[in-house]
Amino acid sequence: MNQSPQSNTVVTCQELRIVSDDGTLRALLGCTNGLPHLQMYDGEGRVRVEAQVNLNGTPSFLLWDEHSAPVISMGMSQSEDETRGITIHGERGLPVLSLTVTDQNEVQISTLPFRRHDDQ
């Protein structure tokens, strides 16, 4: 007998792992200590994309390079002014540019000194 899957099926779990055909972990959706998070991995098993929400509901989103250093990070502050921000990171994950906007629409753009490995 051929039965079609139910359209309202629910899966309840603390962690869902998505793997490729060869069994390599490619994505993880989980909830640890009450904190939901999503991670996506490259073919070498390194986290490249991460999204999470903390206990007070503040979200964050990160992009990582192949050396596990942040490339772009986005989030909101936990203060009353609910500052929103994006940071672009350079070599070794050092922040080089930051854009911040408050709930009063005040904008701040900050460039940070960037030093190469061989700079003293």
User: Residue 100: helix, strand or coil by DSSP?
Assistant: strand
Q: In whole angstroms, how far apart are CA 56 and each of 4, 7, 49?
A: 40, 32, 22
All structural domains of the chain with their residue ranges: 15-111
Report which of residues 17 and 77 the model is more confident about: 17
CATH for 15-111 is: 3.90.930.1
> With 90 as the cut, is the pLDDT of residue 80 above it?
no
Q: What is the pLDDT of residue 102?
A: 84
**Range scoring the smallest mean pLDDT among 42-51, 83-92, 111-120:** 111-120
Which residues have a Cβ under 8 Å from the Cβ of 92 and sit 6 or more positions away? 67, 69, 117
- pTM of structure: 0.78
Contact 116, 91 (CB under 8 A): yes
Residue 80 structure tokens? 């009353």
